[in-house]
A and B are shown apart, each in its own frame.
Chain A
Amino acid sequence: MHITDFLRGSPDGIDVKGPGVLCSFDIAGVTINLTETVVISWGIILAVTLLLAWLTHDLKTKDISKRQVVAEWIVTTVYGLVEDSMGKRWRWFAPYIGALFTFSITGSLVSMIGLRSVTADFNAPLAWALVTFVFIHGTNIKTHGLGGYLKGYIDPVPVMLPINVLSEVSTPVSMSLRHFGNVVSGMVITSLLYFALSVVTKSIGVAFLTIGVPAVLSLYFDLFSGFMQAFVFIMLTMAYISNADGRQEA
């Protein structure tokens, strides 16, 4: 392939695919696909479990190890974040926030070891956004009662009903699409860059650009973006649920 191919647009150049399907089976007429995303998630679960088991085995009250310092730092930081955003009543929510953040960031970062990002599959952030959605509405009903909750849709005037419904539905959609879009755009840009660099390498015959340049960009698109999106996702989750809770603590 020559540089002219790239400029003209290569017929076999860039093809950004969805997650691969390893196998699929039908349950009650619904096709269940076992995709790359799910299998990589299992790997993440395994790795996280081993990591946490290693971090928290043999905890002591004094003369603590560096492992324990890290473990305690994680726990107290997440507790602090949850209590600051949602109040002390939501302290029990901290493990979910920690799990979500970890799943999200590792799901994005697996691209650094050559795997397909879990979060580059729209279904993963969509599933998390659905959990948030359920929590938002569950909390809302719990706080205001079913009547108060339903009344919220015709507030301040009944004419607002469609807009309010749309607003509620758009919350998980915007959350999941934001996360998916950021990660996947990084993936697309990285693919484009690799393609461009390979074309340049072929045209000048020296493969120096493919080393280094992608690494620098990867710092932004994988590390920074992955971290930012995970953080934004948990902050939004806490903010929405806390907002639905309504009983703001002083």
Chain B
Amino acid sequence: MNLDFLTIDVGTILFTLINTFIIFLVFKHLLFKRVDDILEKRRQEVTTTYQEADTALASAKADQEKYTAALAGAKEEAAQIRTRAEQRARQQSDNILEDARREAQAAREKAMQDTEREKEQARTELKGEISDLALELAQRIMEKEINKEDHERLIGDFLQEIDTAGEGGKA
């Protein structure tokens, strides 16, 4: 038995609606939902991967900055060390020069003092010799007229005068 070639059959329409609904469910759950899920999962994975890459990049940059900073610090330290060494060397040379100058000064002062002392000594000796010489000369000139004590006093006065004159001349 066949239906007419062109007929409207309620049963077929109902069955077709049900069948279409079943195919729709099959498509929705077997195809679209599964693929949607996997696409979403992949999207999330991609997002995660990008985030991880960003994090890694940021950490690498931070490391780089840290090393650059450390390198700069090392350079600065080296410069400081050099500067300090230069300063110390200059200080030392200055000290040496200063010592040398001081020693030279001391030597010169000592030499001057020595000279002065010798001069004084020489002057004292000369004074003694002059007095002896004068005494002897006076003894020889006026042997019997004046006793020895008077002579010595006279000469002492004379020498005193000379001395005073000498000191006045020196001053």
Contact = CB atoms under 8 A, between A and B. Distances in A.
Interface of A: 16-21, 24, 30-35, 37-38, 41-42, 44-45, 48-49, 52-53, 55-56, 59-62, 68, 71-72, 74-75, 94-96, 98-100, 102-103, 121-124, 126-128, 130-131, 180, 184
Contacts of B15: 34, 37-38, 41
Given A21-B3, A34-B11, A124-B16, 9 more contacts: A32-B14, A38-B19, A41-B15, A61-B42, A61-B45, A95-B32, A96-B24, A96-B27, A127-B16
Interface stretch (B33-41, B109-117, B119-127, B146-154): B33-41
B11 A61 contact: no
Given A35-B3, A62-B42, A71 B35 contact: yes
Contacts of A98: 27, 31-32
Given A56-B34, A59-B38, A127-B16, A49 B1 contact: no
Nearest to B9: A123
A91 to B, nearest CB: 10
B171 interface: no
A211 to B, nearest CB: 29
A102 B17 contact: no
Please indicate which of the listed interface residues B11, B14, B16, B41 has the most CB atoms of chain A within 10 Å of its own CB.
B16
Nearest to B30: A52
A75 B32 contact: yes
Contacts of A103: 19-20, 23
16 contacts: A18-B5, A19-B3, A21-B3, A32-B11, A34-B11, A35-B11, A35-B12, A45-B23, A74-B31, A75-B31, A75-B32, A75-B35, A98-B32, A123-B8, A124-B12, A127-B14
B23 to A, nearest CB: 4
